[in-house]
Amino acid sequence: MSSNFTSQISNEVFPISERVSGYSIRKSLLTFIQQQYPNFKIDSYLSIHELNHFREKYISQTLRDEKGQLTELEDKVMLSMQDQTVLTGELDHETTEPLTFGQRTADKVASFGGSWTFIISFGVFLVIWIFTNIIILSNKGFDPYPFILLNLILSCIAALQAPVIMMSQNRQEEKDRDRAKKDYMINLKSELEIRLLHDKIDHLILHQQQELLEIQRVQIEMMNDILSKFEKK
């Protein structure tokens, strides 16, 4: 018995261990293959490598049919599946961009402005300001009651702090959008990998069944040969 076989798809020779029969291919996938290779019948053979290639093309075609065309994110997922690379590492590498001076400043201001350190220190500053002008300077100092200068300082701080915090929040929203894109791409790849895994498991089960049937046929032939020899005697 030959240890190789010829694929009806590429007419190339492959080891018999990589042979896949058309019987073991899902009907929808077999139809997809026959659309490109009409001569490929249900009793034809192809290699497992060729079958995986058609599975990836079939998934891409299914996504195109469902959404009209592949988005940029889905293209990256399909490319990652074809290259058999880890998607999370590529995404982390893409997002490691250096921050500008304004972005770093906005993050630091927002972080300090929303902390207990800022609240306590600013409260202490207000108490010292009021105590100095009312008690020590007998309300005749540089900012007597009703503290017009202090109100002006507080208004300026609020006017400057608010847009800086909004800048930091906008950048945080961009991070959230990027994180949502990453989650979508990883979930999509997981779903597609699970589909491929189901197909491979189905193929493995059918392949094992074919091997068992082949073994049974060989055993039956051996039994028939033995019986025929006894009958001749």
Contact call for residues 61 and 32 (beta carbons, < 8 A): yes
Task: Read off the pLDDT of each residue in 74-83 and give the average, rounded to a whole number.
Answer: 64
pLDDT computed for residue 69 by the predictor: 47
Residue-wise pLDDT tens digits, 111-129: 777 788 888 988 898 889 8
Three-state secondary structure call for residue 14: strand
Cis status, amide bond into 98, omega within 30 of 0 = no
**Token pair recorded at residue 230:** 């006894």
- Residues forming a β-bridge with 13: 6
Does 207 have pLDDT greater than 80? no
Candidates 200, 218, 213; CA nearest to 24 is 200
More confident residue, 70 or 176: 176
